[in-house]
């Protein structure tokens, strides 16, 4: 059944429209977005599709075809941050954030279905927020820009759901363009579409979903944020993005705390890797990006310490089987990795990763190619 037909079956009338927003993977630039730094994500072909009708009576009805539990009915005037609500807090939080920002969103009926794997570090949460924000922007003629919608979505997740996250995921879902990666400056949200046509160069980028999520990750994000802020303070800068890679050794000399030193070294070097990867992409030297991915992984594993055995195994097995490079992507402690390969080696590399997982007694990972896809749109 189409999403529109599903909507009609639930609510008894056709929707006003249908919108889609993608999940994302980040090619390089990890844990940089809360340091005002740079990231390079791309949108996936996997999307959250929402059929939505406007309501003007203060009622918000939400339904996901992907969870049991029926329609969630809320009154927009009563929406309260951190009030729970499970999955419905994400779209309800978007309505709340829009109203908080003074936009007259008076209610909606929503039915959605997603092909973005949830909890795999591929940003199903941002896809859900952004599709809701875009639909309401159109239906209530709010006239917000894509970066403004991304900010609303981030605020929903931070303040209403209560998950601390940067702006990368929402910007990628809202602003990506097919065949490109998004070079984003998270300080001011300025961005550039960087051509990333893997197929034309005989390459593929595999996403490996380890299907694990270690509890260790809870709280680790906030701890890394605090450590980086302490590092910035010690170095006398507003944020670590202001530390140039050329000055990194001198900066590290000024840090006495070993943990903070490692965090600073990761953030400054990963910001630099974003710049180096973009220079390679602009020069048409995509194959040469591979070693920088692996270098970025080592930094996340050894300096920031947000990897885990499964992610390390993906990188090790893929590279041993002839991948050009690989790294964990997203917050770590499980979730997904990306692997750059020659397209004609992709099957062999995927098989090697599956075998390594089987040999280590891990569940079979999900593996699929990341085709750089379009950002949020009305269908």
In the complex, least distance from residue 169 CB atom to ligand ADP, rounded to whole angstroms: 7
Instruction: Compare residues 43 and 281 and give the one whose CB is closer to ligand ADP.
Output: 43
Neighbours of 184 (CB within 10 A): 29
Partner whose binding site includes residue 128, from ligand ADP, Mg ion, none (CB under 5 to 8 Å by kind) = ligand ADP
27 token code pair: 């090619």
Compare residues 37 and 85 and give the one whose CB is closer to ligand ADP: 85
Q: Which contiguous run of DSSP H or E holds residue 318?
A: helix 309-320
Cβ proximity to ligand ADP: between 125 and 210 the closer is 125
Instruction: Report what 67 binds from Mg ion, ligand ADP, none; CB cut-off 5-8 Å by kind.
Output: ligand ADP
Check if the beta carbon of residue 167 is closer than 8 Å to that of residue 21: no
Catalytic residue among 36, 109, 169, 272: 169
Specify whether the CB–CB gap between 157 and 331 falls below 8 A. no
Instruction: Specify whether 169 is catalytic.
Output: yes
Q: Which residue from 43, 63, 53 is spatially nearest to 15, judged by alpha carbons? A: 53
Q: Of the two residues 47 and 294, which places its CB atom closer to ligand ADP in the complex?
A: 47
Which residues in this chain contact Mg ion in the complex, by CB under 5 A? 125
Provide the minimum distance between the beta carbon of 163 and Mg ion in the complex, in angstroms, as a whole number: 7
Closest to ligand ADP by CB, 87 vs 263, is 87
**Cα(142)–Cα(22) distance, integer angstroms:** 22
Report the distance separating Cα 154 and Cα 302, nearest Å.
29
212 sits in which H/E element: strand 203-213
Output the smallest distance, CB 121 to ligand ADP, in A. Answer: 5
Cβ 88 to ligand ADP shortest distance, Å:
8
CB of 126 to Mg ion, least distance (A): 6
Tokens 């202001």, residue located? 242
Cα 198 versus chain centre, distance: 20
Cα angle 349, 211, 332 (rounded to 5 degrees) comes to 90
Residue 121 binds which of Mg ion, ligand ADP, none (CB < 5-8 A, kind-dependent): ligand ADP
373 binds, among Mg ion, ligand ADP, none (CB under 5 to 8 A by kind): none
Which residues here bind ligand ADP, judged by CB under 6 A? Answer: 48, 64, 66-67, 87, 90, 112, 114, 118-125, 128
What residues does 138 pair with on adjacent strands? none
Residue numbers annotated as active site: 169
């Amino acid at each position: 059944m189409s999403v529109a037909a599903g909507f009609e079956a639930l609510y008894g009338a056709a929707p006003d429209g249908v919108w889609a927003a993608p999940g994302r993977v980040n090619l390089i630039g990890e844990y940089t977005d809360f340091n005002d730094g740079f990231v390079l994500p791309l949108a996936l072909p996997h999307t959250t599709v929402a059929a939505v009708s406007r309501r003007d009576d203060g009622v918000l009805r939400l339904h996901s075809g992907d969870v049991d539990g029926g329609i969630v009915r809320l009154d927009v005037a009563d929406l309260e941050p951190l009030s729970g609500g499970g999955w419905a807090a994400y779209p309800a939080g978007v309505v709340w954030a829009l109203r908080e920002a003074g936009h007259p969103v008076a209610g909606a009926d929503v039915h959605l279905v997603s092909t973005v794997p949830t909890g795999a570090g591929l940003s199903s949460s941002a896809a859900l927020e952004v599709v809701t924000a875009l639909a309401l922007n159109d239906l209530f003629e709010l006239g917000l820009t894509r970066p403004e919608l991304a900010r609303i979505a981030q605020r929903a997740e931070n303040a209403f759901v209560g998950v601390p996250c940067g702006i990368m995921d929402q910007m990628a879902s809202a602003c990506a363009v097919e065949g490109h990666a998004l070079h984003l400056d998270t300080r001011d949200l300025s961005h550039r579409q960087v051509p990333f046509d893997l197929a034309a160069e005989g390459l593929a980028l595999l996403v490996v979903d380890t299907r694990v999520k270690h509890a260790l990750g809870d709280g680790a994000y906030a701890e890394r944020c605090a450590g980086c802020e302490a590092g910035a303070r010690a170095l006398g800068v507003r944020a670590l993005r202001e530390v140039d890679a050329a000055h990194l050794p001198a900066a590290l000399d000024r840090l006495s705390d070993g943990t903070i030193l490692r965090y600073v070294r990761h953030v400054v070097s990963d910001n630099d890797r974003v710049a180096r990867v973009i220079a390679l992409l602009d020069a048409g030297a995509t194959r040469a990006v591979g070693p920088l991915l692996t270098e970025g992984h080592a930094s996340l594993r050894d300096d920031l310490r947000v990897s885990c055995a499964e992610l390390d195994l993906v990188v090790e097995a893929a590279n041993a089987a002839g991948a050009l490079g690989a790294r964990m992507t997203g917050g770590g402690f499980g979730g997904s990795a990306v692997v750059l390969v020659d397209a004609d080696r992709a099957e062999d590399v995927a098989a090697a990763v599956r075998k390594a997982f089987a040999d280590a007694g891990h569940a079979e990972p999900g593996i699929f190619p990341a085709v750089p896809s379009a950002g949020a749109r009305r269908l």
